[in-house]
Amino acid sequence: PQQLPLQGKKVIITAGGTRERLDPVRFIGNDSSGKMGYALAEAARDLGAEVILISAKTNLSAPTGIMLISVETAAQMSQAVQAQFKTAAIVIMAAAVSDYRPKQVAKEKIKKTAVTLTLELEKTPDILATLGQNKQQQYLIGFAAETQNIAEYAQGKLTAKKANMIVANDVSNRNAGFNVSTNKVTIFRPNQGPLDLPLADKHVIAREILAQAVEDLKLN
Ligand code: C5P
């Protein structure tokens, strides 16, 4: 029988939305469902890969035949990815990583005594950009969720994060992006024109993204 294209290859996929703690019972989060990342994990597994799924909290159950590592914050996600990075063939950052986190995390529950409350936020580490700085053989895929100027921002992210592919979606389209089962994306790569994929189930989109990566890596 023919060997599957990702047989013997390690693929790291991040999924879900990170949560950044304010205090023991509160956090800053986002609308990510984790569906795109979990669909990618299943698609990579079906192509024969050894899949490490590093997931922030979602309502999804763990796909069979993959290794699931659960994390909460951007910092924990960063640490988990770094620990697996060296031997990876492909890294897909499908997670919605919080861009900011509270500068102070209160040890006790914040009481509602003040009339107004100001939160001071600091930037989280950009996981994908850090991987881009340190990559060797790894093929890096990032996502871009935008509401405007999609192509321009996606191209900017390719360069800034040294990614091999940016998958851009228009999150203002109600059938694409956060919390729905379908997605409509455009694939951007350094030396190729943009590739528009039709609106489809996230599992179909996931297979197409991996097929493009397999082709770029000449694994087919
Ligand atoms: O810069 P922006 O957040 O729009 O980039 C999105 C891409 O970068 C996604 O692939 C996301 O997983 C990744 N990212 C990251 N670390 C962050 C923020 C985003 O790896 N702190």
Q: Residues with Cβ within 6 A of ligand 1?
A: 74, 93, 95, 97, 99, 124-128, 142-144, 157
Dig out the tokens for 6 from the structure. 């990702």
> Whose CA is closest to 93, among 122, 133, 131, 58?
131
Ligand 1 centre to CA of 128 (Å) is 6
User: What does the pLDDT look like over 119-157, one tens digit per residue?
Assistant: 999 999 999 999 999 999 999 999 998 889 999 999 999
Measured on CA atoms in the order 35, 39, 41, 42, is the torsion positive or negative?
positive
Residue 3 covered by a domain = no
Helices (H), 60-149: 74-85, 127-134
Residue 36 covered by a domain = yes
User: What does the pLDDT look like over 170-193, one tens digit per residue?
Assistant: 888 888 878 789 999 999 999 899
Residue 110 covered by a domain = no
Active site residue 59: no
Ligand 1 centre to CA of 106 (Å) is 26
Bridge partners (DSSP) of residue 14 are 54, 93
- How many folded domains does the chain comprise? 1
Check: complex ipTM more than 0.85: yes
Ligand 1 centre to CA of 112 (Å) is 33
- Per-residue pLDDT band for 204 (boundaries 50, 70, 90) equals very high
Assess contact for 173 and 196: CB atoms under 8 A. Answer: no
**pTM for the predicted model, two decimal places:** 0.96
Answer yes or no: is 126 a known binding residue: yes
Q: In 3-state terms, what secondary structure has residue 140?
A: strand
Locate the ligand 1 atom nearest the alpha carbon of residue 123 and give its number.
Answer: 21
Residue 1 covered by a domain = no
CATH code, domain with 200: 3.40.50.10300
Q: Which residue range is the domain that position 148 belongs to?
A: 10-100+120-216
Residue 90 covered by a domain = yes
